[in-house]
Structure 1
Amino acid sequence: MSLFTPLKLGSITINNRIGMSALTRNRSTETVPNEIMQRYYVERALGGAGLIISEGTLITRQGSEWPAAPGIWDKAQVAGWKKITDAVHEVGGKMYCQLWHLGRVSHPDAHEQIAAGVPVYAPSAISARGGKFRFLPGVPGYVTPTEIPDPTIVIAQFKQAAINAKEAGFDGVEVHGANGYIVHQFLDSTSNKRTDQWGGSPENRARFALEVLKVLLEVFPNDTSIKLSPAGGYNDQGMPLQDTIDTFGYLLREADKLGLSYVTLVRYSPSQDPVIDGEHRATKHDVVATFSPFLTKTPIFVNSGVTPAEAVELVSSGTVSGVFFGLNWVTHPDVAARIEKNAPLDNAPDFAHLYGAVGVDPARGYVDYKAFA
């Protein structure tokens, strides 16, 4: 098999095994998807992305450190996403919605958190160290959150978001279980100190993720997936290696029974390994080699720092079913087409406008990258 062998994922078949991972870009109109976002996604569908994952899409109002991140909790957002999915489908693309809850890495002074009228919730009242809220005065970091009294309330929010995603025309949903957001916070023993059924043992800490997957499968029976970063330390996460293997191994063994469309494993990356109080937070190990034995029925995708040559080898050897590229899709609207033509990925990133900028044309650093001639 090759990168360009079609692949059946759940109820859909994608044209190739080159996916576009979720990439926060901060271009929505407040929280509503808009026309320039439609252009961005359509360009990448035309550029050959086998499966596009939407940028992280908030399932409820939260004080995100990412201003202008889109949501999917109200009708205006659903309508905005529907225009995008319709346009992506018209050019032959497939698109999942990544469902995102920030948990403890929200801020109570952010506009959306104030509008929500609820505290910053997390599995336990433990703040993440660090944090950047550039749109707030001063340099506020993360706050001590309020322990979620009943996690099933958030699970219900995930389900409603999936219902909305189906109405918006997405082909499936991906749970954002990586990078220190709420699912990861429940999994990690450093952020989850609960003594009820949602904390303590690896089985209990994995319960939240599994229950989220189960309710999403009620909405998308064959088209639910999850992204996990067992080696990642972003947002002050990271357990000892054996605890990591026990926790994520149990989660994946149980998830493999559910009939997911795929699981994405995010590899170790130095950029996701912050040093906090003199300690590296990530748990460096080979996530594909460690966790693929737990997935006997579920397709595996790999993400983080994969080169085209490595992607060819990983797929042709059967190590993974597919590969998600991230930054390359930011800087090239035609990653898959370039790989197929053996053309270079040579557009330089415009980091100054990666996430947009106040008073600057939103097209800059977003839809102004050139396709290969």
Structure 2
Amino acid sequence: MPVVAATKALFNPLKLGDIVIPNRIQMAALTRNRSNKTVPSDLMAEHYAERARGGTGLIVTEGVLITRQGTEWEAAPGIWNAEQVAGWKKVTEAIHANGSFVYAQLWHLGRISHPDAPQQKLAGVPVYAPSAISARGGKFRFLPGQPGYVTPTAVEDPTFIIEQFKQAAINAKEAGFDGVELHGANGYLISQFLDSGSNQRTDKWGGSVENRARFPLEVLKALVSVFGNNVAVKLSPVGGYNDMGMPLEETLKTFRYLLTEISKLPLSYITLVRYSPYLDAEYDGKKRATVHDPLESYRSYITNPVTKVFLNSGVQAEEGAKLIEEGKIDGASFGMSSVLFPDLGKRFKYGKPLDNVPNWPLMQIGVGEDPEKWDVGYSDYPAATYAADEI
């Protein structure tokens, strides 16, 4: 069965760092909330194996916590101890056995944690952020009432967090990951250092664009020291989610500087997240995002020839293929559709409809759900029917 012509460009191999992925389809990171008290579960291994088997060239895991934090997702996985590393080994082995490759997305929430969350209490440390400025919004289903985000503690010297990222990368290598992606998007710690609204420091970690970019760049250098050129970063310049966003001129200046400096490092890829109304937030009757086109605004600042570019957020298969053909991106990143369709790559390849119905209430489980039923809304989405020459 021939490949659908409109999506053909998605199915050329692509060199990323030291590996060559079989196609240009990336499974984007999305929190699914199925770990066993921060330890990756067998169900997670099954979930990712299905997506590898279904034709995804590169799988990026859900956000992986580098240290104990009070996330609103109580069953989010971590990678700071040996038990977690062993759990992730099952995941990476399952993905490799089914013909795909996998990056771990390394994640620190910063001010988007809550001090009353059980994991934050176990950590025995405050909720750290660049400055003592709370994000608006928040939802913690497992805490009494509906508490929002609270004022964090300004970290005195963030170099110890850089070391935590480095140790997480060391652990990821032990767990068999092909690389690591720094979560620099969606209002978490990396974004918080970049954004002048959440970073109002007056030391070398804040103030000027150069100082606000220092922490992300130092983290990336630490990751490169472990994984070489098998390091990536995800960025969302438009902001919105988790109370992020600067005026357009400042946004352009900040991210153009950041990408110019990142281009001095041998990163395997950069994922740019474009505007999505689902990732925007409204405060005082106004949308939070600074809407602009990341490809048009920043693509020319990614100048390292080894660094590939993926586009994320609402990308359709035909659109992604066209952008690849035009040389504007190297690959397309699919988030929600990767969860809904275990065989997403094959559907794109053979023109199968995207007809699974999302189970929104159980996409991200809440505390109190029966772990024996965690497959519902997660690994129970059916694959399409294929002819013998399409398998």
TM-score normalised by L of structure 1: 0.99
Separation in 2 of the partners of 1:359 and 1:170?
30
Q: 2:341 pairs with 332, 345, 348, which one? A: 332
Per-residue CA deviation, residues 17-52 of structure 1 (Å, 9 max, x unaligned), is 000000110110010001100100000000011100
Q: Does 1:343 align with 2:352?
A: yes
2:328 aligned to which of 319, 332, 340: 319
Q: Check if 1:111 corresponds to 2:138.
A: no
Q: Is it true that 1:284 corresponds to 2:291 in the alignment?
A: yes
Contact 1:232–1:269 (Cα < 8 Å) also in 2: no
> Are 1:152 and 2:164 counterparts?
no
| AA at the equivalent of 1:81 | W
Write the distance in 2 (CA, Å) between the matches of 1:359 and 1:225.
34
Which residue is 1:162 aligned to?
169
Q: Equivalent residue for 2:369?
A: 359
Tell whether the 8 Å contact from 1:23 to 1:56 is kept in structure 2 after alignment.
yes
Structure 1 counterpart of 2:369, one-letter code: G
1:176 is paired with a residue whose SS is strand
| Farther off after superposition, 165-174 or 309-318 | 309-318
Given candidates 224, 234, 259, the residue that maps to 2:266 is: 259
Question: Which string of whole-angstrom CA distances, capped at 9 and with x for unpartnered residues, describes residues 258-293 of structure 1?
Answer: 010000000011111111122321010001110001
State the shift of 1:91 in Å: 1.5
Q: Distance in 1 between matches of 2:354 and 2:130?
A: 41
Out of 319, 333, 336, the residue aligned to residue 310 of structure 1 is 319
Paired letter, 1:14: I
Secondary structure of 2:190 counterpart: helix
2:3 paired residue number: none
Q: Are residue 227 (structure 1) and residue 239 (structure 2) matched?
A: no
Answering whether residue 368 of structure 2 is matched by residue 368 of structure 1, we say no
Provide structure 2 residue ranges, at least 5 long, that are not aligned to the other structure: 1-7, 386-391
Looking at structure 2, the residues matched to 186 and 356 of structure 1 have their Cα atoms a distance apart, in angstroms, of 30
Shift of 1:359: 3.0
Q: Distance in 1 between matches of 2:70 and 2:274?
A: 28
Q: Comparing 64-73 with 82-91, which one deviates more in the overlay? A: 82-91
Q: How does 1:69-108 map to 2 (within 5 A)?
A: 69-108=76-115
Cα distance in 2, alignment partners of residues 257 and 359 from structure 1? 46
| Pairwise CA distance, 1:308 | 1.2
Quote the sequence identity (%).
61
Show structure 1 runs of 5+ residues with no match: none
Deviation >6 Å, runs of 4+: none
Distance in 1 (CA, whole Å) between partners of 2:85 and 2:345 is 28
Question: Which secondary structure does the structure 1 equivalent of 2:180 belong to?
Answer: strand
Structure 1 residue 318 displacement after superposition: 1.0
Does 1:299 pair with 2:311? no
Within 2, Cα distance between the matches of 1:230 and 1:359? 35
Query: Matched residues in 2 for 1:327 and 1:232: separation?
Result: 19
* 2:389 counterpart residue number: none
Equivalent residue runs for 1:125-144 within 5 Å: 125-144=132-151
**Aligned: 1:19 with 2:31:** no
Matched, 1:48 2:55: yes
Q: What is the RMSD computed on CA atoms of the aligned residues?
A: 0.8
Question: Per the alignment, in what secondary structure is the counterpart of residue 103 of structure 2?
Answer: strand
Figure out how many residues of one structure are paired with residues of the other and give that number.
373
Determine whether 1:173 maps to 2:185.
Answer: no
Deviation at 1:70, TM superposition (A): 0.1
Question: Which residue is 2:129 aligned to?
Answer: 122
Q: Is the 1:45–1:88 contact (alpha carbons within 8 Å) kept by the matching residues of 2? A: yes
The offset of 1:344, in angstroms, is: 1.1
Out of 214, 239, 244, which is 2:246 matched to? 239
Q: What secondary structure, in the 3-state scheme, does the structure 1 residue paired with 2:139 have?
A: coil
- In the superposition, the TM-score normalised over structure 2's length comes to 0.94
User: Does structure 2 conserve the Cα–Cα contact (< 8 Å) formed by 1:3 and 1:316?
Assistant: no
| Equivalent residue letter for 2:283 | I
Q: Secondary structure at the match of 2:10?
A: coil
Between the aligned partners of 1:143 and 1:352, the Cα distance in structure 2 is 26
